[in-house]
A and B are shown apart, each in its own frame.
Chain A
């Protein structure tokens, strides 16, 4: 049980760290998809099957595709690998130290916490149960999220749609 968790964590964290370090943007995107897959594995391990499927469909399926599109649409040279400059030393030092500080605080907080004992049996969340809850107590929230998604997607289209350049001197 713990061994499976350790494996999942290894894949998840390793690919995430590699993605954050890699110079090749396409590699980064693919590594991140792997990391998200690891997250989905964690959900499966924890028994949240539906969340795992949602994670796969949304992140691995959709978001990573959008990321890849963005990468390809915004690359500087149209042929060859999409390389980006490495992080500058000063910046990465600052980032690592800040990240380490936050990690230290979080770990300390987690380690010094004591939690009530878990229930013996693993909880189950069947699709039917989730569906009933979504349509019942969380119906209003579901509708609002639907509206939010619609608005966000329309906004994304408006933002990304190419407009005629009204101000030629704006373009470099």
Chain B
């Protein structure tokens, strides 16, 4: 088992913690944070593959992570604005109450 395997296992664990949290919690903020954790796990993978990959000459992995962080920031901003908007509409932020689009 190489260090790369170890890193990937760590990122898998982080991903699954995020996933389980997002599935288990009913507070929308926590769901969003779980999703952020999953995104971070993906970033970990990029860095790991860059660090232990066969051709580390270019900074491709790092660049990718930087863009990913930028998009995550946008996502967090919009997501939290949505949460505030949701709160204004239904006076709580329980995700299972936001079912107005149900078929």
Complex interface: chain A residues within 8 A of B76 (CB): 63, 66-67
Q: Which of A55, A84, A107, A156 contacts B80 (CB 8 A)?
A: A156
CB-nearest residue of chain A to B36:
A63
> DSSP class of A's interface residues: helix, strand, loop or mixed?
helix
The digit string for A36-51, where 1 denotes a CB below 8 A from any CB of B, is 1001001100111011
Cβ of B98 < 8 Å from any Cβ of A? no
Complex interface: chain B residues within 8 A of A36 (CB): 40
Complex interface: chain A residues within 8 A of B87 (CB): 73-74
Cβ of B102 < 8 Å from any Cβ of A? no
Pairwise interchain contact B30-A145, C-beta atoms closer than 8 A: no
CB of B5 to closest CB in A, whole Å: 6
- The total of chain A residues at the interface (CB under 8 A) is 86
- Chain B's interface size range is 35 or more
Complex interface: chain B residues within 8 A of A91 (CB): 23-24, 26
Pairwise interchain contact A67-B33, C-beta atoms closer than 8 A: yes
CB of B77 to closest CB in A, whole Å: 4
Q: Using known A-B contacts A51-B47, A96-B24, A159-B84, determine if residue A63 contacts B72 with beta carbons closer than 8 Å.
A: yes
Bound CA–CA A159/B8 (angstroms): 37
Complex interface: chain A residues within 8 A of B67 (CB): 138, 141, 145
Pairwise interchain contact A170-B56, C-beta atoms closer than 8 A: no
Pairwise interchain contact B81-A156, C-beta atoms closer than 8 A: yes
Residues A95-113 near B (CB distance < 8 A): 95-96, 98-100, 102-103, 106-107, 110-111, 113
Pairwise interchain contact A115-B84, C-beta atoms closer than 8 A: no
Q: Using known A-B contacts A74-B93, A130-B62, determine if residue A39 contacts B43 with beta carbons closer than 8 Å.
A: yes
Complex interface: chain A residues within 8 A of B71 (CB): 145, 148
CB-nearest residue of chain B to A42:
B44
Q: Which residues of A contact B (CB under 8 A)?
A: 1-2, 5, 9, 12-13, 16-17, 19-21, 25, 28-29, 32, 35-36, 39, 42-43, 46-48, 50-51, 54-55, 58-59, 62-63, 66-67, 69-71, 73-74, 76, 84-85, 87-88, 91-92, 94-96, 98-100, 102-103, 106-107, 110-111, 113, 115-119, 122-123, 125, 129-130, 133-134, 138, 141, 145, 148-149, 152-153, 155-157, 159-160, 162, 170-172
Q: Which residues of B contact A (CB under 8 A)?
A: 1-10, 12-27, 29-30, 32-34, 36-37, 40, 43-44, 47-48, 50-59, 61-63, 65-67, 69-78, 80-85, 87-93
